[in-house]
Amino acid sequence: MYKITVLPGDGIGPEVTAQATRVLAASGRRMGVEFCFREALIGGAAYDAAGHPLPEETLALCREGDAVLLGAVGGPKWDQLPVHLRPEVGALLPLRKKLGVYANLRPARVFPALAGASTLKPEVVSGLDILVVRELTGGLYFGEKKREDIPGGQRVTETLVYTTEEIRRVARRAFELAGKRRKKLTSVDKANVLESSRLWREVVTAMAVDYPDVAVNHMLVDNCAMQLVRNPRQFDVLLTENLFGDILSDQAAQLTGSLGMLPSASLGDGTALYEPIHGSAPDIAGRQLANPVAAILSGAMLLRYSCGLEEGAAAIENAVTAVLEQGYRTADIMEPGKRQVGTAEMGRLIAELV
């Protein structure tokens, strides 16, 4: 029996997590494994109901569970709150920090059935399969921030800290994952300017000797942003610090042209966190227009990394591929000649095949 904490959150979050739990339940039945889903409030929904975007009970439930499945947080409704009460700074960042999920895995994969969705030429992106491993609990995001008045205006000072151990633990994950994939690791930094990047590069270089089967190269972040446009298929695993990973993983995701398909996992040494990479999309919330596949595939990652149920993960991934090949599409990936279905119907079709 696995206890899964479900945090539907805001916007389309509730719609897509509902389909993800439905598919997880179906895969549980198939494998003879039981999942117990426990819901809690987060984000704007939690602020509205309880006055804080990350209530103590939510955090407690997350810590107790075997894994956390998150929908999405945020929306214009809560953008004017004091910073510490906004869904991002008040909920998402502290949740990551408190769960200690330092390794954020963001696959960017082009599904054969959706190859035409990219703005890049098919010969550049077909078969694309990149895994971004982003450090998630350090760097500028979590450094001290100070704002002072000075003559003529203000001055803001922020700090960026990285330690050897923070780099090592996320790099270890990236090496291990690369070893199970195409055995190529590209470590991204700005070592020609930043001291933290020079430490990053030293640590990764020193670790490489322990993973002789993985080919490592180092790339400057500006060059990486170029290479992702020029020839993205040169990459297998991309390892980055927090802010670079934020930017590059979104760039890589958009190369596929179908953000609604992309899951993520955030792993540490305890309970892990799974969420679709798309946001809360308040404009389409509640209208059965959202694509639940990213959330469903986040569920597959949950089976793989938190439950060790590789078979169940693969079954979900295969079901997604099959449903796409049968021609079913949600609104965001609709093309002429295909059959458009709503959020719940897409979930049902996938659950049925699992």
Ligand X SMILES: CC(C)[C@H](C(=O)O)[C@@H](O)C(=O)O
Annotated binding-site residues for Mg(2+) read: 222, 246, 250
Q: Identify whether 190 is a catalytic site residue.
A: yes
Which does residue 314 touch among a copy of itself, ligand X, none (CB within 5 to 8 A, set by kind)? none
Question: Is 189 labeled as catalytic in the residue annotation?
Answer: no
List the interface residues with a copy of itself, window 230-269 (CB under 8 A): 230-231, 243-244, 246-251, 253-255, 257, 259
Query: For 26, phi and psi rounded to 5 degrees?
Result: -60, -40
**Angstrom distance (rounded) from CA 241 to CA 137:** 9
72-101 residues in contact with a copy of itself (CB under 8 A) are 83, 86, 88-89, 93
DSSP code per residue over 92-112: IHHHHHHHT--EEEEEEE--G
Annotated binding site for NAD(+): 75-88, 279-291
Q: Which of 88, 176, 332, 345 binds ligand X (CB under 6 A)?
A: 88
- Catalytic residue status for 129: no
| 186 touches 214 (CB < 8 A) | no
Report the alpha-carbon distance of residue 117 to residue 139 in Å, rounded: 34
- Which one is catalytic: 10, 190, 274, 328? 190
**141 catalytic, yes or no?**
yes
Residue 71 CB contacts under 8 Å (≥ 6 apart), including other chains: 7, 8, 9, 10, 11, 12, 13, 14, 15, 16, 17, 275, 276, 280, 295
Q: Which of 2, 47, 102, 141 is catalytic?
A: 141
Binding mask 191-230 for a copy of itself (x = CB under 8 A): -xxxxx-xx---x-----------------xxx-xxxxxx
Residue appearing with tokens 């596929």 = 256
What's the closest the beta carbon of residue 222 comes to a copy of itself, in angstroms?
4
* Interface with ligand X, residue 192, by CB under 6 A: yes
Binding residues vs ligand X (CB under 6 A)? 88, 92, 192-193, 222, 246
Instruction: Please list the active-site residues.
Output: 141, 190, 222, 246, 250
